[in-house]
Every structure is written in C-alpha cells, then in structure tokens.
Amino acid sequence: MSVQSVLEPLDTVRAELEELYRDLHAHPELSHEEHRTAGLVAQRLRADGFEVHEGVGGTGVVGVLAHGEGPVVLLRADMDALPVREATGLDYASTATSADGEPVMHACGHDVHVTALLGAAHLLAEGSQHWSGTLVALFQPGEEHGDGAKRMVDDGLADLIPSPDVALGQHVLVAPAGHVGTRSGPVLSAADSLRVTIHGRGAHGSMPHVAVDPVVVAATAVVALQQVVSRSVAPTETAVLTVGSIRAGTTANVIPDTAELLINIRTFDDDTRQVVLDGVDRVVQGICAAAGTPHPADVERYQSYPLTDNDEGTTQRVHEAFAAVFGDAVVELPLQSASEDFSDVPTALGVPYTYWGVGGTDPEVYRRAQEEGRLGELPVNHSPAFAPVVQPTLDTGVSTLVTAAMAWLAKGEPPAV
C-alpha cells in the first residue's frame, strides 16, 4: 500500500521529530511574532526540496513540492502561541515572555501541528516515488487572532502556489491519543467578538440623581443579554453568548462616563449568527434608551472567525483513508464550539476542504477520567496545564496528514472530488 510505504520511514525520524516538538514547545511565539518558528520551518522545507516562500502575510511560510502530473493538495498548520503562563511541570515547559513581558505558552497545541506537518512533508518528500502531483505545505501565523489566514490570502497567496484541488487541516484535542475524529458539515463554530461601549454621564458617587450611570446600564445589559439565545434562537439550533469582560470606573465614589462590555458569540449557522448579532444590538440599545443615556451604545465587532463547514465528499474520502490505516481508532468528531480561521484559505481559493481532530490525551489518563466521571477536569486547549502526550500524538498527527494527502496524490488514485 503506497500510504504505508510513505509512512514506513517514520521510525527513523521519530526521535528527531520529538526533539523538534520539545524545542517548539519551549520556544513559543505570539501571533504574528513567529519569527523563530517560521525560520525553522523554512530551513527544514528547503532541506526537503521544497520551493519556499517566506514572510507571507507577515510571518507565514509556504512550501511547494511538485512531483509530476496530478492533483494539488494543500496541508496547513498554524504556528502561534498564547499569552498564558505554563503550569504543566514539564521539563521542556516554556519560560518565554513576549517583548512586553507577557508569559507565552503553546497552550493550544500548535507546536504539535507544526511538528506533524514538517514530519509529513519530510516523509512525502522522501517517498515521492509513491505519488504524483503537487504538495503545498502552508504554515500560518496569527490563528489566535483570527486574521492570519486572511493576511496570507491578502498578501498574494494565490499567486505563489498552483491552484489546489483540496485543502486539509487538523487540530489536537482532548481525546485519547491515537484516535482520529472526522465530521462532515459544520464542525467548528463561527465566532464573533463584540466591544460594546455604553455612554453615561458621570458624577460624584453621592449624587446619582444627576448622573446616567453606565455601570447600572451595563449590569442590566449583562443579565438581559442572556435571553438572546434562550428567547431568540430556535431550540433546535445551537448558539453561545458570553459576556467575558465588564469594565468601568476607577474608584468607588465616582460614577464614570462610560462602561465597556466584551461579548463573545459562537454559532453554527449564518442565519442564527445574524439573529444573535441583531439581538445583542437590539437589547443593548433598548436598555440604553430606557436609561436615557446621552448617546446610543457603540457596538463594534472587532474579531471574527468563519464557520468551519467540512465538504461532505472530501470528508468521506479522508474518513475512508483514515479507516484503512487507523481502523477502529477513527471516530466521529463531536461538534466543536471552538473556532478556527483555516477555512478562510480554501474559501478564498475556491476549493473544498475538511478539518479533523487528533487526540492528545494519554489514553490511560483519559480512560480513568471517563470511568470516574472526571472528563471535565482534564486540561483543555488554552489551559495553563494543557500538554498533549508526545506519543502517540505526534505519530498520529504525522500519519493523518500523510494519509489524507495520499488519498489524492497516490499513483492510480481517482481525480480529486
């Protein structure tokens, strides 16, 4: 089997990939500051014979490896870390800080993604006699800001690479390491972050009758906003609305002029998305009007992630390829309320895509937690204690990318769907 032929040398590079992973984990970089990571990526791609484009969208890297006639397959990994202080206790834990002194940690597993794609790129380059076509390895910055994919597209990505037939991506998740999850249709939610500024009229804390208190207005809005999902969204649809921050004032005896709410919305359908966005505006402006604020509230959408909506035919093809390699370890990926900007690339390029999950939790730890009803206590992505077990997570991450790519590139395979 051509897939197994490409994967066979994994044993010889496993130790090197594990060392690379630990190095990346110990040296995380925030969004759009991934200079060291990008340099390592470019160096390794060139060593494997890729044509390399650096600085795409800021710190993005794209490698192109052409090997005869055939489909063009794009594989993607994100590179950025988070402003989180690591609490894993690992001997390769990050002690890095940003230029502003913030702690930095690979708390979302992007170090796994980079290592897996570099490993897959190496194996596919070494095993090129088993496939025909073109491999595009895309390493994206700024996923945590939700703008890295768009920056690469806006920086002329389409002119740097041959037009792909398919785009493929993955994410390490809290699930038994060695397991792989696929899902057709919506798989990751769309996300919108809103900044709501409520304008009041400040005064001395002893004279509330001459003020329009934005703190009270904001507090009323926080409670009322909880009704947007429960009373505006159909019970058969899914949506999440979270007020994650409320800020106002500087001292106890001063009523401030303004108050600010930061709101996050997650939806799986464009119509539901608009219902919730409209509901936020309606509720906030109505409460402001009732309170007599001097101006309507400012409602700014400052960050958005697209819906990740896996193409059915592409997903089925990848699922069947995974089943042939991983057997019963392939499961249906549950609907995820997390968000990604991966789909901005294939959407802009006009190609089908699928995005799957790989487990990163020690299987025995996961099993015990499941038996004891403690799955909710396992450290999740973005937690200071999030630490994917090195193996079999890396082997699986490399193997899934190779297997999915070979579903199109393997000699004798049918044309891309």
**Which residue ranges are tagged as binding site for Mn(2+)?**
108, 110, 144, 171, 382
- Strands annotated E in 149-205: 166-176, 180-182, 185-188, 190-199, 203-204
**Residues at the annotated binding site?**
108, 110, 144, 171, 382
**CA angle 48–53–59, rounded 5-degree value:** 110
How far is residue 73 from each of residues 8, 107, 264, 351, 409, measured CA to CA in Å?
Answer: 21, 28, 34, 10, 8
User: 3-class SS at 195?
Assistant: strand
- Asked whether 238 and 293 are in contact (CB, 8 A), the reply is no
Cα separation of the two ends of the chain: 21
Q: Tokens for 306, please give them.
A: 């697209």
How far is residue 251 from each of residues 205, 212, 255, measured CA to CA in Å?
Answer: 9, 17, 8
Which of 265, 269, 290 is CA-nearest to residue 277?
Answer: 265
Q: What H or E segment, with its residue span, contains residue 309? A: strand 308-310
d(CA 354, CA 317): 10
The length of the chain in residues reads 417
Hey, CA dihedral for 287, 293, 294, 297, is it positive or negative? negative
**DSSP strand pairing (258-267 vs 190-199):** antiparallel
Count of CA atoms in the C-beta half-sphere (13 A) of 59:
21
How far is residue 16 from each of residues 21, 178, 251, measured CA to CA in Å?
Answer: 9, 19, 55
Which of 192, 31, 186, 173 is CA-nearest to residue 108?
Answer: 173
In the block, residue with structure tokens 């998305």: 273
Which of 401, 395, 403 is CA-nearest to residue 168?
Answer: 401
